[in-house]
Amino acid sequence: MAVLSTKGLTVTFGGNRAVNALDLKVEPGQLVGLIGPNGAGKTTTIDAITGFVPSQGRIEFKGEEIGSLSSTARARKGVGRTWQSSELFDDLTVLENLQVASESVSVGGFLRDLVRPRNDDIDALISILDSLDLGGTQGQLPTELSHGQRKLVGVARALAAKPAVLCMDEPAAGLDTEESQELGKRIRALVDGGLPTLLIDHDMGLVLTICDYLYVLDFGQLIAEGTPAEIRADEKVITAYLGQSASTEAGA
Amino acid sequence: MKINRRSVGMLRSAAVLVAAGALVAACSSSSSSSSSTTSGSASSGGATKTATSFAQSNTLSLAYTGGKAGAANSSLSPITIGYVNQQFGNPSYPESTAGAALAVKYVNAQLGGVQGHPIKLSTCFVATEEDGQKCGTQFLNDSSVNVILTGAMTVGNASLYSVVDGKKPIIVGNGLTAADFTAKGAVTYMPGAPGVVEGMARYITSGGLGSVKSVAVVATTDAAATDSAKLLFTPILTAAGIKVTQVFISPTAQGADVQSAIKAAGGTTADVFVPITPVQGCISIYNALKSLNVTPKVLTTGLCFGTPLVKALGGTFPNGWYFGAYGVNYFMPYTSKVPASEQLAAYEAVVKQYNPAMEYTGFAGPTYGNVLTIAKIYNQLGTSATSAQLASSISGFTGPQWGIPGTPVACGKITALFPVICVGQMGIEQFKDGKWSAIADSYNNKMINAFAG
Amino acid sequence: MPRKIAVLGAALLGIVLLGVILISADQTQAVVLGIGGGALIAAIALSVTLNYQGSGVVNFSAGAMAMYGGYIYYGLRTNGQLFLPPIPNPLSLIEGLAHLFGASGFSLPKIPVFIQLASSSGGHEAYGTIIKGAAMPIWEALIIALAECALMGLLFHLLIFRPLRKAPVLARVVASVGLFIILQAIVVLRYTSSAQAVGPILPQHPVALPRGIRLPSDQILLVGIVIVVTAVLWAVFKYTRFGLATRAASENEKGALVLGYSPDFLAGVNWVASTVLAGLFGILVAPINQSIDPYTITLLIVPALAAALLARFRSFWITMFAGLGLGMMSAWIQLISNKSWFPKAQGSALPGLTDTIPFILIILVLVFRGKSLPTRGAIETIKLPFAPRTKRVLPASLGLAAATFVLLFIVTPGWRLAIVNSLVGAVICLSLVVLTGYVGQISLMQMALAGISGFTLSKIADAYHIPFPIGPLLGACVAVGVGLLAGFPALRVRGVNLAVVTFAAAVTIQDLIFGNPAWSGFKGASVAPPQIFGLNFGPNEPWTKFFSGGQGLLPNPWFGVFCLIVVLLLIWGVVNIRRSRVGRQMLAVRSNERAAAAAGVSVSKTKILAFGVAAFIAGIGGALSGYRFGSVSSQYFGAVPSMLFLAFAYLGGISSVSGAVVGGLIVSGGISSIVLTSWLHVSDQYTLLLAGIGLITMAIFNPQGVAGAFRTAYESFRGNRTESLAHLPLEMSESKS
C-alpha cells in the first residue's frame, strides 16, 4: 500500500485550475520526483497534500483520507515537508528550530514548564544535525548560517518531527552543482534509510539521477509519469519542458 | 456621530449632570484665551446688573469670614490649604485654580488672612489617576496641610479620596463624578448635580410646569448621568404617575444621533423634554430641536448656560428653556435682598479689582467661595486648628455658603445616598424673550427642596 | 465557504435592515441624517487609507489632525490668530542665567504663542462676545489653515515617518500614537479643553427631500465633497503614473522606482495629501456641530479605522461607503434603542450598544473573510525585535529585586509611589511581551482586560467577601475568559488589522461592560485593601519603620513589596515560557505561521494560549491597580490607555522581560515621571506634550526598544556574536516566495 497517494487532486485559484485531477503515489522506500516548468503547480501540489491550500479530490496517508485535516494535524500524523525558501524560525537557534518540530505540548507540561522548564532529550536531535553535517551549529541562529546550511536545517527540522513521508520543495534551489549533488546523496540515503519522499526540484540532473519514479506536470495537468529513463524518452515531456534545457541539464 | 470619544470623552462626560460650578455660575461672556469683558453678552443676555463697589465687597466679605480689615502679616507662618485640581490634562479646569488664587490674594490683602497669618495654597495638579494618589499621599504626609480643597476633577478624585480616607477633611469644590458625592470625610456645600436633577423632578411633580403626563429624558451614557437619571429623576416622576422615557447618548453625540435620541425618547411629543448633558450636548440638542422644527417645553441643568452655547446662539440663550441650578445666577439683576446674589456681585467686584481678564465663571466662583469658607472656619478655630478640629467644624458648618443660596447647610443629613452633599435646595430660572426670570429660586424665595421626598 | 456565507449574510442583513428602515419615515430620516457625521468618518478613513498606501503607516492620529485643522481655522476666523505649538526658547536659558546673577528685570524676546495675521486693532463682536483682533474672511482662513496642514504633513513625513520608513510597523504605530497625544496636548495648551463655538462655513438651510425628510444643505454638500474627494483619489490611483507608483510602492519599493518615483517622494506627497484631507474635513465639519473641542473629532479615528479596515486599507470607495454607513447606522441604532426588543440593562436601553454594534459587525466580516493560515505570498509582515533567550536571569533579577526592596523603605513617598506605579505598569507590559513580543499578535486591549479583572475584584470578590489571594486570581481568570473571546479573531485576522480589531474590542469592553451602570454605578467601584491572616498590606495602611520605630509616611512600602513579589513571580513565569517548549512554539508562530504548522505546531492553539496567558497577566495587573487606587474606574482601563500601554511596552522593548521592566519605568506616574518633575523641574503643563514627543523620539532612535538598544550596546561591548542580530528586525511571516 502506498504511504501517500492522491486521487483526482484538484486545486482552484479563482477559477484557474492550478492542479487538475492529479493522481500520484509514493510507495514505501521510494523517492518520487515531481517536475515541471515554472507555474506547473508543483509547489501547489505539496501545499495541497500538506494542507496549506484547500483542494478537492482524495489525499490518502497510509490508506487514510487526510484531506479534511488541518495542516498541523497532517504534520502530526507524519506528513512532513520542507520549504523552497527554508522558512526557518529566525528567532530560534538551530537546535530550537528542531525542538519545535520534535516536541509536543500539553496543558500539564505547560504549567510545569512555567515553574521549571524542562527539555526533552536532545541527543536524537543532535544526531540528526550530525547526520546532515550540521554538527556544531545547534547554538547558532539561522541567519548566521550559509544558504546551503539553512536548507539543510530545513530538512533537519522536518526530520526532527519523525515523519513517515517527506515532501521536499526544491531543496537544491540556490545551491551550486556540487552542493546540489551532495544534497542528492543525502536525500537518497534518507530514502534508503526508510523514509519515502516526494521531491520537487528544478535541477533535472539531480532529479533524474536519484529518483525512483517521476511525475511531470504542466499547467496543473499530469503529462507523463514513469521511471527516469521513461521520462527522458517521453516526447511530451521533451516538448513541454525538457525541450530547451534537456540538452544542457540532462547531460550534466 | 459619536462613537467612543468616550474613551477620552468619558473623562469629560463628567461634566454631565454635574458641574456644580457651571450650575451657579453660568458664563455670560468671557472668551477662551485672549480677551474677556465682563459686560460682553450680559446685555444681550437681557439683565442689567447693579455693580457692587470694591469697598462694599470688602464689608460683605469681612462679615462672611469674620476677619479683620487690612493685609495679613506676611512674616507670620502661613496657613496652608492643600489644593488639588485637574489641570493640564484632558479635560482641565484651570479657572477653578484662578478662583482659588484670587480668593487667597484677596483674603491676604483685604481680609487680614487668618488672624493676621497669610493663607497659602499648596497646589497639586492631576491629569491622571496616578496623580490623584500622589496628591493624596503628598497632603497626608505634609503636616502643614490640615484641610484639603479640590477644584474640579473627573480623574484622580477616586484615588485621592481612597488615600486620604477621612484622615484629613476634604472640601469638594465642584463635585463631578460619583466618587465626589460618596467620598469618606468629604463635604460639598452645594446641592451638586444630584440635588439639581432631583429638584428638577420635584418641580415637575409639584405642577410647576403645568399638568405633565409624559416626560422625555435624553442623558449622556456615563454612569453618573445614567444613574442620576435612573435613581434620582425618574423614580420621583414615575411615583407621581408620570410616564418617563429615557434615552442615553454618548457624551459628545451630535447631529443625527441627537435627533434620533430625541425622537426615541419622545421629546417631540412629551409634555416636558429634559436633556441632561454637558454644554456641547446642549448645543447639539438645541440644533436638533431646531432641525426637527419642534418647540417642546425644555427643562435642563445650568450646564447649558455655558459660553459655547451662548456663542453658538449669537449671544443669547435658548428661548423659553427652564434651567435648574443653585438658585442664583450672574444674569439676574443684583439685589441686596438675596445674600447669595450680593456675594456674587462682590466676587465680581474683586475680579474686576485684581484680575479683570480672568475666566471668572465656570468653577472659579464656587472655588473662590470655598476658600472664603475655609478662612472663616480657620478664623473661628484659630491658626493652630488640627485636622480633627477642622474636620468637625467643616462637617458642622451650618452656612450659608458664600454665593450659594440653598439652606440649610447640614452635612451628612441631606441625603443618605450622597453623604457628601450638605445643601439640599436648588432653584429654577427661565430665559424668555431676551429676559431672565426667577421661576423658583432665591430671588422669589421659592427654592426647591430637592431631597425632601 | 465562509467567505461566501459572510457576503451572503451581510447582503441579506442589509436588505432586511433597509426594509425595516424604510417602513418608517422616522427611521429613514435618522438614517439620512447620519450621513453628515458619516462624511467626517469617511474623510478621516480616507486619510488613513491614503497614509497607509503612501507610506505603510496606520495613522492613529488622523482624527487628531482633523481636529487640529479645525482649530487652526477657528483661530483665524475668530480673531485672525494663528496658534503655534510651544517651541523651546533658547533665549530663556540666557535669561535664566541673568536672573541667577540678579538681573531680574532682564528679559529677552519670547517666542510668540499666537501670530496675529489679521488686523489686531479692530475689535468686533462675534457670537455675542467682544473679541480682539479682526476675523479673517472665510476663504483666507481656509487657505491658510490648509497650507499649515500641508506643511504639517510634510514635517510629519520628514521628521517622523521618513526616519521610520525601515522601522518595524509597530514603531510607526507608536509614533502615530505619539503624534495623537502631541496634537491634542498643543490644542489644550492653547485653547483649553472646553469647547469653542464655531460659525457656519457651508450654507445651512434645510432642504426638503421626499417622504418629508429634511436635511440641512451643509450635510448634503459635505457628502458631495466626500464623494468628489473619493472619486479624485480613485482616479489618481487608477489612472496616473503617480498613483500607480504609490500602489506599486505599497507592495514593493522597487515597483515605484521602476516607474520613476522615489518611494520617499511618494510617501511625502501622500502625507501632505492625507493631512490636508483630514484638516479640510475638520474645518468643514466643526460648524455642523457649532462647536469644536479637542476630543470629539480626534476619537472619530476609531470608527474611521474600522471603515478603512473593512476596505483592507485599499479601496477608497469601500472606505467611503463604510464611513458613511457607520455614521448612518449609529443614528439609526440610536433611534431604535427605545424599542422593546432592544437589549436592556436595568430597564433602559443598554448604553454603549449604539456605538459598538457597527464594530462588532465589522469584526465579524473580517473574521469570516480572514484565513486561518496566511497564504503564499501574503504581504502582511510585522517585523518585531529579536526575542533573546534570557540568560543569567536569576542573579540580575534578584539583585534588582533586593535593590528595589531596600529603596521602597528608604526613598521619599513620591518616589515610593513612582516605584509602585512602575511595578504595576511592568505587569501590563509583561502581558504584552507574551502576546506581542513572543507570538507577534498586536493587542490594543490589554488595559481593558486589566479592567475586567479590576472590576471583577471590586464587584464580585468584594461583594461576596472572597478573601485576598482568591479575589485577584478570580479577576484574572475572568479576564482570561474575555481575553480568549476577544482573541478569537486573531485566528483569522493578522498584523495591523488585528491591532484595529483589538482596539475595537477595547472600545466594546469599555462601552458595554465598564459603561454598564451595573458595573460602575453611582456607588463607584471600590476595592478593599489586600490582607492575609488579618495582616493588611494596602498602600494606605499605616506602617512602622524598621529601625527608628514610629510611623512611616504613606504609601505603605509593604504594598510595594507585595507588588514586587507579584512582578517577580510573573517575570519568573514569562522567562520560563521563553525557555520552554511552549515559548519555542510561540516564537515559531511569530516567526512563520506556515512553517510552524508544517512542524506540527497548532498555530491557533498557540495564539489562543498566548491570549489567555497575556489576559491573565494583565488581569493581575488590573487587580494590583485596583488595590493601588482603592478603586477602579472605566476611563483608567479604556481603549486609549490600552493604546498608550502598547506604546510603553514597545518602547521598553516588547520582546523581552527586561523590556517590560523598562516599559514600567516610562508609564505615566512611573519613575520617569518623577525624574521629569522633581529632577528636571518640568512643569505639569507640558508633561503630556513631552510624553508624546518622547514616544516619537524613542521610536525613531530606538525602534527596537530601549532594552534591545542596551542589549546591543552591552553585547557589542563584550564582542558577543549576536551583536549584529540584536538590531536586525526579523520578519514574522514568510517572505514572498
C283-316 pLDDT, tens digit each:
998 877 778 888 888 888 888 988 888 888 888 9
Reference C388, options A218, A96, B18; nearest CA is A96
Per-residue confidence at B33, pLDDT binned at 50, 70, 90?
A: very low
Strands (E), chain A: 4-13, 16-26, 31-35, 56-61, 64-65, 79-81, 165-169, 197-200, 213-218, 221-226
Mean pLDDT for chain C?
A: 82
pTM summary value: 0.88
Work out how many CB contacts closer than 8 A connect B with C: 350
Mutate to test the interface with A, among C430, C581, C620 (most CBs of A within 10 A): C581
SS3 C635: coil
> Which residue in chain A is spatially nearest to C576 when comparing CA positions?
A114
Q: Quick one: pLDDT at residue B336?
A: 84
The answer as to CATH 1.10.3470 being correct for domain C411-529+536-542+551-689 is yes
Chains touching B (3+ CB pairs < 8 Å) = C
- Closest listed residue to residue B390, CA positions, set B117, B169, B165: B169
What's phi and psi for C196, nearest 5 deg? -115, 145
Q: Which chains touch A (3 or more CB pairs under 8 A)?
A: C
B9/C554 touch (CB, cutoff 8 Å), yes or no? no
- Is residue C671 within 8 A of residue C422, CB to CB? The reply is yes
pLDDT tens column, C471-522: 999 999 999 999 999 888 888 888 888 888 898 889 888 888 887 767 766 6
Contact assessment for residue B431 and residue B324, using Cβ atoms and an 8 Å cutoff? no
Chain centroid offset of residue B190 CA: 7
The pLDDT of residue B23 is above 50: no
Q: Which of A164-178, C146-160, C226-240, C535-549 has the lowest mean pLDDT?
A: C535-549
Cβ–Cβ contact C454 with B under 8 A: no
C386 neighbourhood in chain A, CB within 8 Å: 91
Q: What is the pLDDT, as a whole number, of residue C270?
A: 92
- SS3 (DSSP) at B121: strand
Say if residue C412's pLDDT is above 50.
Answer: yes
Which of these CATH numbers, 1.10.3470, 3.40.50, 1.10.287, 2.40.50, describes C2-80+117-338+347-369? 1.10.3470
pLDDT digits (tens, 9 = 90+) for A49-88: 999 999 999 999 999 999 999 999 999 999 999 998 889 9
Q: Report CA-CA distances (Å) from A130 to A95, A127, A135, B192.
A: 12, 5, 4, 79
Nearest CA in chain C to B126: C684
Across A113-117, A207-211, C198-202, least confident range:
C198-202
- Given an 8 Å threshold on Cβ–Cβ distance, is C581 in contact with A88? no
| pLDDT higher than threshold 70 for residue C255 | no
* Chain C residues near residue B266 by CB distance under 8 angstroms: 338
Closest CB from B88, B137, B254 relative to C688: B88
Provide the pLDDT for residue C108.
Answer: 63
Give the confidence band of C216 by pLDDT, cuts at 50, 70, 90: confident
Beta strands in C294-447 (DSSP E): 344-345, 348-349, 383-384
Q: Is the pLDDT of residue B46 over 60?
A: no
CA A249 to chain centre: 22
Binary contact (B223, C517; C-beta < 8 A):
yes
What's the grid cell of residue A66? 487526510
Which residues of chain C neighbour B32 with C-beta distances below 8 Å? 191-192, 194, 196
pLDDT tens profile C109-154: 666 777 777 665 555 444 334 456 677 888 999 999 999 999 999 9
A-contacting residues of C 688-727, CB under 8 Å?
A: 721-722, 725
Of C239, C237, C244, C238, the closest CA to residue C259 belongs to C244
Q: Where in the sequence of chain A do the CATH 3.40.50.300 domains occur?
A: 1-78+164-180+191-252
Cβ neighbours of residue A171 under 8 Å, at least 6 residues apart? A82, A151, A154, A155, A183, A187, A199, A201
C-alpha cell at C523: 456607588
Average pLDDT over residues C220-231: 93
Q: How far apart are CA B219 and CA B230, in angstroms?
A: 10
Q: Is the pLDDT of residue B176 over 90?
A: no
CB contact under 8 A, A114 and C386: no
B416: closest chain C residue by CA = C523
Helix (H, G, I), strand (E, B) or coil at A67: coil
Give me the pLDDT at residue B295, please.
Answer: 92
Calculate mean pLDDT across residues A96-121. 86
Q: Are C635 and B158 an interchain contact pair (Cβ–Cβ within 8 Å)?
A: no
Q: H helices then E strands: how many in chain C?
A: 28, 14
What topology is assigned to A1-78+164-180+191-252 in CATH?
Rossmann fold (3.40.50)
Q: Where are the alpha helices (DSSP H) in A42-93?
A: 42-49, 71-77
In this prediction, residue B19 carries a pLDDT of 38
Q: Cβ contacts (< 8 Å) between C132 and chain B: which residues?
A: 34-35
Residue C730 touches chain A, beta carbons under 8 Å: yes
Q: Where does CATH 1.10.3470 sit in chain C?
A: 2-80+117-338+347-369, 411-529+536-542+551-689
Q: For the segment C424-459, what is each residue's pLDDT rounded down to a tens digit?
A: 999 999 999 999 999 989 899 999 999 999 999 998
- Cβ <8 Å between C37 and B33: no
Is C577 in the A-facing interface, judged by CB distances under 8 Å?
yes
Structure confidence by residue, pLDDT tens digits, B64-112: 999 999 999 999 999 999 999 998 776 778 889 999 999 999 999 999 9
**Residue from the list B2, B90, B265 with its beta carbon closest to the beta carbon of C338:** B265
DSSP strands (E only) in A62-156 = 64-65, 79-81
Query: How many other CB atoms are there within 10 angstroms of residue C50's CB atom?
Result: 28
Domains of chain B: 49-191+333-422 (3.40.50.2300), 194-325+428-449 (3.40.50.2300)
- Residue C535 sits at the chain A interface (C-beta within 8 Å): no
Q: Mean of the pLDDT values across residues A160-181?
A: 90
In chain C, % of residues over pLDDT 70: 84
More confident residue, B3 or C677: C677
Mean pLDDT of chain B: 84
Contacts of A80 (CB under 8 A, 6+ apart): A158, A159, A161, A163, A164, A165, A166, A167, C598
pLDDT at C709 over 90: no
Euclidean distance between CA atoms B34 and B215, whole angstroms: 42
CB B168 within 8 A of CB B387: yes
Q: How many helices (H) and strands (E) does chain B have?
A: 17, 13
Subunits close to C (at least 3 CB pairs below 8 A): A, B
User: Is B247 within 8 Å of chain C by CB?
Assistant: yes
**C262 or A49: whose pLDDT is higher?**
A49
Which residue of C lies nearest to B154 if distances are taken between CA atoms? Answer: C635
d(CA B177, CA B154): 6
**Cis preceding-peptide flag for C203 (omega within 30 of 0):** no
| Chain C positions in Cβ-Cβ contact with residue A85 (cut-off 8 Å) | 734-735, 737
Calpha distance C228→C235 (Å, rounded):
10
Contact check, Cβ <8 Å, B253/C206: no
What part of B 392-421 touches C (C-beta under 8 Å)? 417
Long-range (24+ apart) CB contacts under 8 A made by A52-55 are A52/C373, A52/C375, A52/C376, A52/C594, A52/C597, A52/C598, A53/A11, A53/C375, A53/C376, A54/A11, A55/A9, A55/A10, A55/A11, A55/A19
Q: Which of B126-130, B306-310, C53-57 has the lowest mean pLDDT?
A: B306-310
Q: Greatest CA separation found in chain A?
A: 65
